[in-house]
Structure 1
Amino acid sequence: MEKLYDYLPRELVTFLLVTVFSLLIGLSQRKISLKREGETTLFGTDRTFTFIGILGYLLYILDPADYRLFMGGGAVLGLLLGLNYYVKQSQYHVFGVTTIIIALITYCIAPIVATQPSWFYVMVIVTVLLFTELKHTFTELAQRMKNDEMTTLAKFLAISGIILPMLPDKNLIPGINLTPYSIWLATVVVSGISYLSYLLKRYVFRESGILVSGIVGGLYSSTATISVLARKSRKASAQDAPEYVAAMLLAVSMMFLRFLILIGIFSWDTLLAVYPYLLIMSLVTATVACYLHSKRKRTDDGTQAEEEEEGSNPLEFKVALIFAILFVVFTILTHYTLVYAGTGGLNLLSFVSGFSDITPFILNLLQGTGSVAVPVITACTMQAIVSNIAVNMCYALFFAGGKSPLRPWILRGFGCVIAANISLLLFFYFL
């Protein structure tokens, strides 16, 4: 908008912007106030907010040096707003100071538009309009929150903003690239992705179906998501079996994307080497999942599988502690494997890591273990993922039960994905 000053007088542009912004705020506030309070206790109209903005602009330009007129006008406006609030509170028992705060913000629009860049004052207006309109949304959100939700958020802020910067970045064991900072940094990054997926599942996709549960859960932990879906499938009908397996495979598909994000955070060179393979496998897995989903549609009898809300919060201290311990264990194992068994031993370790959480193993490689080449890290990452998918298939078979209708679908779906992964791994070796 600064380019308008090249064609029109600055005072004219500023006046028009202040008037339009004040009117927009007045319109949104009038609608909300009428719904909440009614015409009797309404503080002015949309024109009132427009005049407040214009008044602020006039008093601002009349005394641009000391701002005494602007501050005096603000004091008078504050007094009038205080009297209005007193009358509403004493006679009509209407509480709340949102209108007062918005009126004062409207009064301050003029100096903001005159002194700040366009992106800043537009951001202020957008924020005011959004928060005015989202009142009921925030109320519903607060009602859905668990009692310990703010405590959980405080924990995440503490581990990322307080503990992490305070940790030293010096090796704990001579010769091994293992520092308190690197351990906790990996924990914070993984916990952040897990926490984000938890918030999406609980507050954004709360009424979602089985497929969305698999997609969002895969951002947190494909193993945990597959185990939960397999347990829930015991109550599902045979017609819903392909749907549950499709959701499990979508969780695996999102696992590939999650590792792409983690690899990009810690090692750009490795990302450039591994991203084609992970993207291809994510698409292949999603394609198999869509095929199974289409099978469910053909045999659908009109019933919908009910999904129970999973109330567990991934951001727990014991989860972070287990991850940190695994990270330390795999760092030490990787170091001594390279020393005594070389690259061949590291390849074997990558397959073994699939029986546990492979994230600590992969992040340990990405943060540097001495002299591990990028192609070796790429191969070990793909091998660990293949091994972990096979283990997840076993988890799905176990938790679904011996007589579950999911068993043939699990073997077909996961078998196709594992076969495609192995084929791609062989292509990588022979390329």
Structure 2
Amino acid sequence: MPNLELFQTLAISLGLGLLVGLQRQHQNARIAGIRTFPIITVFGTVCAWLAQDFGGWMLAAGAVGTAAIVVVANLLQRTEKHIDVGQTTEAALLLMFAVGAYLVVGNTPVAVAIGASIAVLLHLKETLHKAIAKLGEEDLRAIMQFVVISLVILPVLPNRTFGPYNVLNPYNIWLMVVLIVGIGLAGYFAYKIFGGKAGTLLGGVLGGLISSTATTVSYAKRSKDTDQQKASNNLIALVILIASAVSVLRIVIEVSVVAPATLGKVAPPLICLLLLMAILIGLGFFIKKEGAGQMPEQQNPAQLKTALVFGAIYAIVILATAAAKDHFGESGLYIVAVISGLTDVDAITLSTSRLMNNRTIDLDTGWRVILVAALSNIAFKGGMVAILGSRALFGRVALLFGVSLVAGALIVWLWPEGFVLDWFGKG
């Protein structure tokens, strides 16, 4: 290794130690601070260098020595009146020794990311404690259920295809479940933080992240609530439109995760529809004069039953898509898109994205199928407003959704074939 690289590694090790030590010093940590942490981190780097020439026992001895320093420091603290029983600083010391060693034997960007993450995590102590104090039993249950869904069930599923058309892969199906539940859970916890205080814009955004259909149903029912009078029909229509716009943005995000190479072709028409809806939202804010109401109570999206239902819907859509393509060609996919979009646009989005990613279907057909499903979902939500909401609300939503549906249909019909936006990379 050239001397320049040696000094570069040493500088990174020293810098990471100083970063964490600065945070600990600011928090008045008794065991280690601005000097001890960089010394321990550099010590780890030097031990790793020595281990390359003299064997791994040098690194092991350094780790034992660092642990001994921590033990002695704790023993010396026993004579003080106020003892900090936390072990955060001690654990950080041992980890920074390992980070210093990993700079030599591992990947430098990873070591830097770990060191910086440690500093940020230590600094967010009060914020994290306050956030955890706000968690209720339902919130903890949501976290644990997501752990079961993502870290217990997913790893044990077979990663191979089964069934008719050889398209049902249990691992891939459940991976899409994890993705959708994860997006919903992020929106759910954002709601738990801002929920009661959420205004029009935030209420619609959180509703779109959790479930735009559920948000539409909840707010439509409120339009008939003559007792509370918390929000006007204009306000409710605006929240419903925002949630639907976020659901379109959510489609773009899902495609970017599942089939990033197709974004150059898939994203532009969807973004055009999104921009139109954003203009309608802007006009709605200009016209609206009422204050923002509170969001309706949201349900935990990480329930195992919900995950199983989505998994089943996704599997059915995959199978139906394969069957439609086999019997009717690519034109049959639009029928599946319309039917699937009535209940859940995520399933058809993910399944079509995988087909595009594998080049099983043409990209121009793929994004049109996804957009048709999104338009079907918007029409379905408009029907829910007609059934569950007031006539005044339906009139406003019908106007907003009608413009969106006409614009979406024109995009599907008139969008030029082969158009690719280089910002996203060519598909």
Matching of residues 205-220 of structure 1 within 5 Å: 207-220=197-210
Residues 313-340 of structure 1 deviation map (CA, whole Å, 9 limit, x = unaligned): 1111221222233234334444444555
Q: Which secondary structure does the structure 1 equivalent of 2:137 belong to?
A: coil
* Match status 1:159 vs 2:149: yes
Partner of 1:169: 160
User: Displacement of 1:52 after TM fit?
Assistant: 5.7
Distance 1:188 1:72, change over 3 A: closer
Residues 320-361 of structure 1 deviation map (CA, whole Å, 9 limit, x = unaligned): 222233234334444444555555554344333333223323
**1:177–1:368 Cα contact (<8 Å) kept:** no
Q: Which secondary structure does the structure 1 equivalent of 2:79 belong to?
A: helix
Partner of 1:28: 23
Q: Which secondary structure does the structure 2 equivalent of 1:292 belong to?
A: helix
Matching of residues 342-353 of structure 1 within 5 Å: 342=329, 344-353=331-340
Q: Distance in 2 between matches of 1:361 and 1:19?
A: 51
Q: Distance in 2 between matches of 1:347 and 1:69?
A: 66
Match of 2:308 among 321, 325, 328: 321
Match of 1:131 among 98, 111, 121: 121
Match of 1:280 among 272, 295, 300: 272
Q: Which secondary structure does the structure 2 equivalent of 1:221 belong to?
A: helix
Structure 2: runs of 5 or more not aligned: 419-427
* Match status 1:354 vs 2:372: no
Match of 1:262 among 251, 254, 265: 254
Aligned amino acid, residue 190 of structure 1: I
Structure 1: runs of 5 or more not aligned: 34-41
**1:57–1:111 Cα contact (<8 Å) kept:** yes
Q: Distance in 2 between matches of 1:58 and 1:271?
A: 43
Q: Which secondary structure does the structure 1 equivalent of 2:313 belong to?
A: helix
Mean alpha-carbon deviation: is it higher for 24-33 or for 244-253? 24-33
Aligned amino acid, residue 260 of structure 1: V
Q: Distance in 2 between matches of 1:319 and 1:396?
A: 23
Distance 1:94 1:401, change over 3 A: same
User: Displacement of 1:48 after TM fit?
Assistant: 6.1
Mean alpha-carbon deviation: is it higher for 270-279 or for 48-57? 48-57
Q: Distance in 1 between matches of 2:323 and 2:45?
A: 74
Partner of 2:424: none
**1:172–1:180 Cα contact (<8 Å) kept:** no
* Match status 1:241 vs 2:233: yes
Aligned amino acid, residue 386 of structure 1: L
Partner of 2:422: none
Q: Distance in 2 between matches of 1:261 and 1:216?
A: 15
**2:266–2:363 Cα contact (<8 Å) kept:** no
Partner of 1:382: 371
Q: Distance in 1 between matches of 2:102 and 2:360?
A: 55
Aligned amino acid, residue 209 of structure 2: L
User: Displacement of 1:196 after TM fit?
Assistant: 2.9
Partner of 2:294: 306
Q: Distance in 1 between matches of 2:184 and 2:158?
A: 22
Identical aligned residues as a percent: 20
Q: Distance in 1 between matches of 2:315 and 2:31?
A: 64
Partner of 1:38: none
Match of 2:394 among 395, 407, 417: 407
Partner of 1:145: 135
User: Displacement of 1:69 after TM fit?
Assistant: 8.2
Residues 193-238 of structure 1 deviation map (CA, whole Å, 9 limit, x = unaligned): 2233323333477743231121233234221222223334555758
**2:31–2:89 Cα contact (<8 Å) kept:** no
Distance 1:398 1:61, change over 3 A: closer
Aligned amino acid, residue 411 of structure 2: L
**1:169–1:180 Cα contact (<8 Å) kept:** yes
Q: Which secondary structure does the structure 1 equivalent of 2:30 belong to?
A: coil
State the superposition RMSD in angstroms.
4.1
TM-score, normalized by length of structure 1?
Answer: 0.76
